[in-house]
Structure 1
Amino acid sequence: MDVRTKDVAAVGRRVAAHQDAALERLARPAAADRLQAIYRKEAALSLRGRAAPSRRPLGIALAAACAAAFALVFAFALPRAGDPLTYRVEGSPGAIGRWVAADVSQVGLDFSDGSRVDLAPGTRARVTEVGPRGAGVLLERGSLHVRVVHRDDTRWVVTGGPFEVHVIGTEFDVTWDTEAEELAVSMIAGRVHVVGPCVEPPGRAVAAPESIRLTCAAPRAAAPQAPPPAVAPEASPPARPTALLPSESVPSASAAATAPAPPASPPARAGAPLAEAASAPGAGSWRVHLGAGRLGEALADVELLGIDVVLGRASGVELVDLGSAARLSRKPDVAARFYQAARQRFAGSDAAAVAAYHLGRMAFDGRGAWAEAERWFAVYLAERPRGALAPEALGRSLECARNLKLHARARELAARYLAAYPNGAHAGLAATLAGGAD
């Protein structure tokens, strides 16, 4: 060790000695007092360690659980701001712009905000748009029962012809009569605002329990009434017709009075399949079900009896109704057989024309076959240019031409539609296409 290191060590020893001497001169508590102080400090620390975890972590856990619950509510139970509504048709997801038809029974549309729209039998409508605050519904024909859940920012619009029914939150019935071009609104609860080209600005407010009818069509001249028929000399009442097999025709009144009544149950003969078929299960019950509007049961009986048998036996109207029963049962091939039979067996009749419309409708709604659909709608319009389904057939033809991007054809159909039905359900689309827009 060198000199410098030795000197430093000596200085350190002298400093330590002076510190020890100073500590010895300080007054110190007795050993027992020092031990009691240590025990008190340890006890205080022990109590603090047991009490704090029992209070603070519990409060933190409760706060965290509440925050998580609120987060779940806002994330899943409530629609997020900006998300458009969705809807379901009898439990199945609905699509924007797709036609919904209630042919025989009521059809319901359930929306994600709790609102509901019910289509009465014979009604056709479609949801044209949805947004975070409401939806737009186009009523082509028939009646809707509308129940919109009230919210401060709800905005719903139901369109019928040239009229718009603006809804915030209420319940009402609305009907659009295509032939009379008349809108009827009957309030059940709340109020709506109706606007239209023939309604003075800023529109018409309708509140429960008020009902109104609106039309922009010019009054139609009353059709001349035919003179009452001459009263024929009183004659003996004709005999009541007896039950007939489906292939037989009803005799005239004079023939029924003179001809003997046929036997109640004609004997079966070899080579007479009609008599045999008439005794088969479901031979006559399908007509009973059809007349009562029970299309599903009628179709089941027909399938049990044999579709080929009924195709050659049913009337034109019955064939169309059975076609609709098969279409509603999602059996398009069977429906097409009934509709085609109506056209072949009853060519030129109303039933044949209606069958053509339904064939076009199946191509339009079921397969998106626009060219095929437009051909069938054109057949209906050629056979019944002023028929009850003419507005729909022409309007759908217009949609087909637009979807096929046949611009010249679309403009031609649009001009025809506006000339015939200026206030019709497709008038807005026709006005757009007539101006040359794609």
Structure 2
Amino acid sequence: MKIIIVGAIAGGSTVASQIRRALPESQITLVGREPDIGYGTCGMPYVIGGLISDSEKLVGTTPEDFIEERNINTLVQHEVLSIDRSNKTVVIQNMETEERFTESYDKLILSPGGFSRVPEFKGLGDLPLFTLKTLSDLETILEYIEKEKPTSCAIVGGGFIGIELAENFIHLGLKTALIERNDRVMKIMDVEITDILNKEMEDNGVEFYFEDAIERIEGKKLIMKNGVNVEVDFIAASVGIIPDTKLASDAGLTIGSTKGIVVNRYMQTDDPDIYTIGDAAECTDWVTGKPKRVQLAWHAHRAAYIVSRHLAGKPIEINGFLGTTITKLFSLTAAMTGHSAKSLTEEGISFKTVTHDGRSNAGYYPDHGTLHLRVHYDSETRRILGAQGVGDKGVNKRIDILATAMMGNITVDDLSALELAYSPPYSSPKDPINMLGYKAK
């Protein structure tokens, strides 16, 4: 079987490796625009802040290793320009030489990712504007900081990447302003969670400009719509990712309501010989069954496994997505799975909420932290619809348990009966998860 994979970062390199194990005799070609493959994009903010000492640590493998050790034909700095579905061929261009050639395929896998949304600012001029999506973006930021020695910056956008950049710019000693058109950071989460995150950022020196935007720029001065002037050395924009669907759209594949490429439970597009994984794939929501597109690494890796199994004739279906995610913010950890109060309300789903404020482990043990947990559930079926947590210790464990509970259809009441590991350094006799169950009763 001859397989061509378009895109060589998380999804593409992973599915290539999975297919090599599942189909040892297959002929695999991996095509990527960048010079690197399979690197850890999620670690990039921490390289900027110095927590990760070298960007090379993010690179798990090299094109040479893929060729030599895995027998995967790896074409870096190459781009697939078009798909001819009737003849099952693609046109590939060498981005350095501009040479073009045609390759045939039996199966085609699209893992195109997406592009950073770049805002347009009136009067930007020579003021540096950065986004952070690729390893090249990271190197550009690192080179600028090393050479220019900036002292201040503005971040536009208060989502996951925005707040992680804020933390890491603060670690560098930069005066950091965060500009957000909404009234809080992390609007995907409940207000009760983001209020805690806002305070943590303020306590660490981040300046907020909520419900505001840059009206124009004069030199290094940002003229804000609310009338405040902010002077900065550079801007970092984190205002979303645009899925790269042009290749699929040009080939006549269906683009769905989330602006992703529509796939079935086996990650197949309209064309059964073409699969899509990663940021650009439109799957379904675990709770509602409606279209959902998740731009996170776990989902790309899971989809890669689903594709490899299907190609090997041992199919399993992909589940609906919960969108489980977690982030570090100074001394805090925040995480969520499933729906927030806002998204449930927008979906017209009736729900109740149970909360718990407590310690991560035994209070008499010297190393304990605090937790705030929230679970949204259906008041009739008692099914868990979503959960969130924030605290300085143990959040990851609890959100993972709650995500497992959701997938196992465990009710909110059943949480009280979960027999969870207890020892004073790790928990309490009644774990915070148990307490949520007791309180819901």
TM-score (norm 1): 0.23
TM-score (norm 2): 0.23
Q: Give the structure, 1 or 2, with the largest relative contact order (CA under 8 Å, sep 6 or more).
A: 2
The structure richer in strand per residue is 2
**Rg bigger for which structure?**
1
The structure richer in helix per residue is 1
